Chain A
Amino acid sequence: MSEKCYVARSTKIAARMMGDEMMIMLTPDSTLFTLNEVASAIFNAADGMTPLDVIVAERVCGEFDVELEVALKDAEHVVKELAGHGVLLVSDKPITQPRAFAQVAG
């Protein structure tokens, strides 16, 4: 991934926190995913405007006991996988969507 990587939640998903997991459904084909607590934190912070390294530093390293370098590597892997499924959008520039979803409740 490029040095500055921006991530945004797709508008083609449904999502809800359930306990410490996030349930996500891709609405075009009804594929269901669950994210663990760390991946959920990244997903929730994916507003398209905050670079991934900042999200990881603030939302992952700030909340969980993990080093930045390790967390960033894992985050890039998760983001790549979710982007492959269409759950997240990834760009080297800030992403503005016509109707960006608010943070997921529940």
Chain B
Amino acid sequence: MSHLVAEMSAKALKLRIPLSVQLDLTYRCNERCVHCYLDHHDHGEMTTAEIKDLLEQMAEAGVFYLTISGGEILMRRDFFEILEYARELTFCIKLKTNGILIRKKEADHIKALGVESVQISIYSHLPEVHDAITKLPGSLAQSIEAVRRLRAHGIHVVMANVLMTRNAHDYAGVRALAAELGAQFILDPTVTPMMDGDRSILSLNVDENALREVFQNEALVDGNVEEFCAPPQGPDEDALDMLPCSAGHTACYVSPYGDVYPCVQFPLPSGNVRQTKFADIWRDSPQLKEVRSITLRDMPSCSKCAHGGTCTRCPGLAFLEGNMRGPSTQDCEKSFARTGIPSVNLMSKKSAVAGLVQIQGARAMATAASA
């Protein structure tokens, strides 16, 4: 993060400005990715007029970074009308799309509107792997074509690779493909639960060995691998007063139905813009106020954990696990894979499992004795 960006973020935090918002225009999609956390049915998306009104409210509230995502954003016929209006309101816009519906005309339009970046999900450089994940034959070829079109216009393209069991060995190939196409490469090693709380897709997450391989890969780590993977020192006094992340502090999420959450990964209903003005929700929502009140010091397990000061703990994942002040086991697993040191949470789970094994052992012995 540049000095100026850090300065602006600190100022936004001080002034309670929602600097960044992700707005999902739709949950409808032309792909059916195996790891997707969304319900793709339309349950009453905001109209064009509602979205334009919301954009005005967000500009007035001080939103600068606007991520427009979905679902597939180009499934909305009014997508360019919304994008044009958002640019007239001088938002800094990042688009998230699979790129399949970006042909020459769309690429021209995106270029003309001065979008800051376009993020396209590429799961593998191998069509058989990528297309099996999206469940759409030919999707890799179409997404790559979109990357080429956008890059030909000089647009900053980010190729996002979500790591999961099915593509665990392909990130080097995707990274090489990104380099060839002149795109930025980012790797996300976490499959998250569905927004309705269904955790079945977590089985797609890679194991500890695959995570360790990623964290120890010099090409992927921004900085020194040894420092990155060094054993944690435990949180100091400053770290205990640290805020978990920007969710609810300088950032929030708005669903296609107008629901406001602290973050797309933190589905705590905090208000709905169809009933309440965006600025009023941002300022007065009891849920957002509660999120803002939490520091590391308030987290019973994490405040005592050696990883407390360096963990990437996601409060949204902790919330989906049942307690927004609790640990996020997926992040505990990442910290363990990175450093080899188990978190307090993992150790307590381990001792609980050990207890169960002892009971099983006792029962087995009793069964053996009676036989």
Contacts and interface: CB of A to CB of B under 8 A. Distances in A.
A25 B116 contact: yes
A106 B8 CA distance: 14
Contacts of A106: 17, 59-64
B276 interface: no
A28 B114 contact: yes
B32 interface: no
Contacts of A12: 114
Interface stretch (A13-21, A47-55, A69-77): A13-21
B266 interface: no
A1 interface: no
Interface stretch (B90-98, B298-306, B318-326): B90-98
A102 B62 CA distance: 15
Contact of B4 (A15, A28, A34): A34
B88 A17 contact: no
Contact of B8 (A15, A18, A30): A18
Between B7, B61, B92, the greatest number of chain A beta carbons within 10 A of the residue's beta carbon is seen for B92
Between A13, A15, A17, A105, the greatest number of chain B beta carbons within 10 A of the residue's beta carbon is seen for A105
Contacts of A25: 64, 92, 116
Contacts of B116: 14, 25, 27, 30
A101 B90 contact: yes
Contact of A102 (B15, B88, B115): B88
A71 B91 CA distance: 30
A28 B62 contact: no
Nearest to B64: A16
8 contacts: A14-B116, A17-B62, A18-B8, A18-B19, A23-B64, A28-B114, A104-B90, A105-B56
Given A13-B114, A16-B64, A19-B15, 7 more contacts: A14-B114, A16-B90, A18-B12, A28-B114, A34-B4, A101-B88, A106-B59
Interface of A: 11-19, 21, 23, 25, 27-28, 30, 32-34, 99, 101-102, 104-106
